[in-house]
Amino acid sequence: MVMAGIAGKSRQPSFCLVAKPAKSVFAAPRSAKREGSRMKNYRDGGEAVLEAFRRLKIDYIMSSPGSEWSPVWEALVRQKLGKARGPAYIDCWHETLAVNMATGYTLMTGRPQAVLLHAGVGLLQGGLGIHGALQAEVPMIVMSGESQTLGENPSLDIEPQWYGGLSVGGAERFVENITKWSRQVTSPYTLHEMVIRAGEMARQTPMGPIYLNVALEHMLHEWTPPPDDREIPPAPRLEPDSGDVAKVADLLLAAKNPVVVAEQSGRDPRAFTALVELSDLLALPVTSGRGAYYANFPTEHPLYLGSASYQHLDDADLILLVGGRSPWYPPRRRPGTGKIVAISDNPFKTDMIYQNLHADLYLGGDIAASLRLLAQAAGAAKLDAEPVKRRREKWSRAHDAWAAGLNAERANAQGDGKGVEPLALLGALGEILPPDTIYVDETITHGQLLRQHLPFRSPQSFFRTYGGLGQGIGTALGIKLATDRPVALLVGDGGFLYNPVIQSLGASRQHALPILIVVFNNRGYMAMQKGHVHHYPDGAAVAADMHLGSRLDGPDYAAMGSHFGFHGERVEDSGKLKAALRTAMTKVREGTTAILNVVLSR
């Protein structure tokens, strides 16, 4: 691999989005001091942490606060009173919410954020989100603290809660397997540079969360800023070897029936655009992979074949696997008749216990750069226009047939009269919601239907949560923090209950982040029932119609936003669905979150 050009000293956000200011306790100026009081300006480890965040160009500190962070809070107040530049503070009522908001924000902007949690207990609460960030390769700095002296230093009065169990003596052990790197800050003298190193390390491929355990005593210690005030460089983008590019380009030009499987490439909007350009140039058909967590290609493009349309791979003589993670299932099943080229900056995921990509050739480095270099190499060659034309016509017909089939499925979906047919809901969403809507998916039973039927017209139109259920609302709020585009969370009723619902709705109101939440309510954990029946089709549970763990008599989901003045509506009749969606979107445009509890027929 070779290193792409490195940006200059001006700030270069990865995805070229501008941070949107959020409402917080630091959103409006306050007087510098109370009348009659004097303010002391401390320069300690709290300032060392905040200055490291400034140098890393961090926009937000997402925090479910803990008592170890008083030095950082003091530094943040000084920053506000002094009208200095620096990150804004986002207060969260739950640790998973804080991590998920950082994840969502970074997915949109490409810029890593900071998450401050409380001791080992808060770290454990945030573990699900940290695990998801590792799987999604989202860079962030996660920190929590503890006391080392535990009240035994007569010259430093530490609060008593740390003695007796709150300090565990090495909380980094809790997250060693769900972070990219996890360590204890060694001393007050290394604190500042360790935070900077953590931020730089998080951004290097493979990206991921870095955890630092910092002692309260280190942050209370005096700090002297380093004389070296270097500009922190962006992480380099690596380009593939030119010989490998030429080899893959030759394979593309020689192939009679090449097909693209795009799984995770749409994470980067540049890769989304580059894949469209390469596909247009060579008339390459594209299907999204079975495990796609992003919008990888425009669903209305004439060369798009749908989600997991693997029947088109049977006679493919070349498969470009773009951003592959777990594309084939069972993994032993190799598709196609020819070579498989894996295009990825990180094909082997260390968070996965097993992978089988069946790759014959790897094109390493930045995915967008790899696709653009392939297009350049192919464009520089003498193309035989006639085969490309025939291929374009063939796959355009296939796309039209696929789209017509989906339209027919939605038109013929009648349901059983006991709720809204899921296809009717998906059709209404595609019709009523604005074209630039960003969909966040936290469904299980309806996930594949959703990826097949919803329109994804532009980059960053679709995100699916990683790492486990219970993260959708926070991720959607983080995405909304980064954009003015409408954001819709689609979540199953079971998944909805795994979320910190009240805490997340509180953040939506406190930070003015209105989103649409559509609960796909099938009144149960249907994935569990399906798994049981799959393994025991003629067993006792089927005979008795007794499916343990799958029935869900949930609360009134639509009413849960009422505590915050949010709109909510329960929909059981397909005839009322579109009107309900229009009303909900009007509320979202007016600035409040709306919850639709859509009772489904299946």
For the chain, the structural domain boundaries read: 40-220, 238-397, 413-599
pLDDT at residue 414, rounded to an integer: 75
Question: 115 in helix, strand or coil?
Answer: strand
Q: Virtual CA dihedral for 313, 314, 315, 317, nearest 10 degrees?
A: 50
- Answer yes or no: are the C-beta atoms of 484 and 109 closer than 8 Å: no
Q: Which residues does the chain have with pLDDT short of 70?
A: 1-37, 39, 415
Strand segments, DSSP code E, in 228-336 are: 238-239, 258-262, 286-288, 304-307, 318-322
DSSP 8-class letter at 551: B
Here the contacts of 344-351 (C-beta below 8 Å, separation 24 or greater) are 345/205, 345/206, 345/238, 346/137, 346/205, 346/206, 349/135, 349/206, 349/325, 350/206, 351/134, 351/135, 351/178
Burial of 549 (0-12, 13-18, 19+ CB in 10 A): exposed
- Answer yes or no: are the C-beta atoms of 265 and 367 closer than 8 Å: yes
- What's the order of all strands across the beta sheet hosting 361-364? 304-307, 286-288, 258-262, 318-322, 339-344, 361-364
pLDDT digits (tens, 9 = 90+) for 115-152: 999 999 999 999 999 999 999 999 999 999 999 999 99
The Cα–Cα gap between 336 and 320 comes to: 11
DSSP 8-class letter at 346: -
The Cα–Cα gap between 266 and 276 comes to: 11
The Cα–Cα gap between 172 and 94 comes to: 20
Joined together, the tokens standing for residue 411 give 């038109």
Amino acid (1-letter code) at residue 374: L
Residue range 238-397, CATH number: 3.40.50.1220
The Cα–Cα gap between 145 and 130 comes to: 16
DSSP 8-class letter at 564: G
CATH fold label, 40-220: Rossmann fold (3.40.50)
Question: 144 in helix, strand or coil?
Answer: strand
- Answer yes or no: are the C-beta atoms of 223 and 188 closer than 8 Å: yes
CATH fold label, 413-599: Rossmann fold (3.40.50)
**Domain 40-220 matches domain 238-397 at the CATH topology level:** yes
Amino acid (1-letter code) at residue 492: G
> Please, which residues have CB within 8 angstroms of residue 225's CB and are 6 or more apart in sequence?
43, 48, 51, 192
Question: 62 in helix, strand or coil?
Answer: strand
Burial of 238 (0-12, 13-18, 19+ CB in 10 A): middle
CA-nearest of 135, 284, 144 to 208 is: 135
CA-nearest of 92, 105, 133 to 481 is: 105
Burial of 113 (0-12, 13-18, 19+ CB in 10 A): buried
pLDDT digits (tens, 9 = 90+) for 468-483: 999 999 999 999 999 9
